[in-house]
Homo-oligomer: A and B are copies of this chain.
Amino acid sequence: MTVEETCLAAKHNVSYPALLTTEDKNNMLEIIAKAIVEDAEVILDANAKDIENGRELPSHLIDRLRLTKERIVGISNGISDLINLDDPIGKILSSWVNHAGLHIEKVAVPLGVLGIIYEARPNVTCDVIALCIKTGNAIVLRGSKDAFLSNCTIVEVIKKALKKSGYNPEFIQLIEDTTREGAERFMHADEYLDVLIPRGSAGLIKTVKKNATVPVIETGAGNCHLYVEKTADIAMAREILINGKTQRPSVCNALESLLVDRSIAKKALPILLGAMEEYNVTVHGCAETAAICNVIPATEADYEKEYLGYEISCKIVDGVDEAISHINKYGTHHSDAIITKDNAVAEKFLREVDSAAVYVNASTRFTDGYEYGFGAEMGISTQKLHARGPLGPEQLTGFKYRIKGNGQIRK
């Protein structure tokens, strides 16, 4: 099937998941959670072939690509967890009577056909299908060539299981054309797709954003800041800095920049940067930082950088105003935190930092659908349109107006 034919197949079936009952959707989740474990061997065989074909890939990509029995059980448990979440579809978001006596209801509905373009992570295939069942969306998956056999097999196993139980699985579609040209055509399939979500490297996201005619939800870079204000509990700041920078440096909610109030710099910096040294984190510091601690001089480019590794930039700032304007200027509007005991300063920071998630005395690592209690996540949005932050089930819905009258016409 061509890219367009595959998208059309999903579109033809878009109303099927949209109109399912909560009970049916949860039943389907149970079925697929079971199916991937029961057919784990078939999936693992296909995955072994992908790994064999990809033997020249870098080892971190192989690691992402690799499935194990344990990983499949983990994915299956994740799918089962969705069952207990509220059904976001059909919720009445607001209702009122207008001047003409019309009863207007704003009701949550699925977005329609979601397109997902992603890299070699076959777990994404399962997660996305499950999330789409929960949210009543049709789905077109476009995974990478490297995971093609794994993805095909997962989709086959899931669709077979749904069909066997009497459900129509054709709202789930996988693009067979994994060429670059196929990706381009997918990005232009606005006739069939309501939304396109790229999940993967900065390069992929940039390409999609530049080329797509389908509306995109950008899941992007995180240049996250920790600002240690003059009233901060330094020990708390140290723990949150270590957590933010080192717990998982490769993810978008990891810290990339430390800002320290000038009035406490001499006392705080040795403690904070001492911790960084302990964890083998390279520090790119401003000139004032360098006068206190042993750091590599920071350039302008360092303040803009998402290192995604054991590196951080460090700047001394003159109070909360400079901290806020630095963050708004150099940051990516993802997640930023302040450590402070001063409530007024905390409120100012919460109000004026223009980021999806703004934290007081907590780690930026919490920006995550599971940590927020959404129960699932389709990436973290860094755009302002539609949804910001973790894309949980609620963020994968739209709305419509249902209006009841008794013959009203417009004057």
Contact = CB atoms under 8 A, between A and B. Distances in A.
Contacts of A367: 401
B209 A190 contact: yes
A361 B405 contact: yes
A385 B19 contact: no
Interface of A: 14-15, 18-19, 96, 98-100, 102, 104, 109, 111-112, 190, 194-195, 209-210, 213, 215-218, 233, 236, 239-240, 242-244, 247, 328, 346, 350-352, 354-363, 365-368, 371-373, 383-386, 388-389, 398-410
Nearest to A324: B15
Nearest to A210: B213
Given A100-B371, A362-B407, A365-B409, A215 B213 contact: no
Most buried by B among A14, A215, A216: A215
Given A366-B410, A371-B410, A403 B357 contact: yes
Nearest to A102: B362
Given A239-B407, A359-B403, A361-B404, A398 B373 contact: no
Nearest to A111: B384
A368 to B, nearest CB: 8
Contacts of A218: 215
Given A357-B403, A403-B357, A405-B362, A388 B398 contact: yes
Contact of A400 (B104, B194, B216, B358): B358
A362 B360 CA distance: 50
Contacts of A244: 409
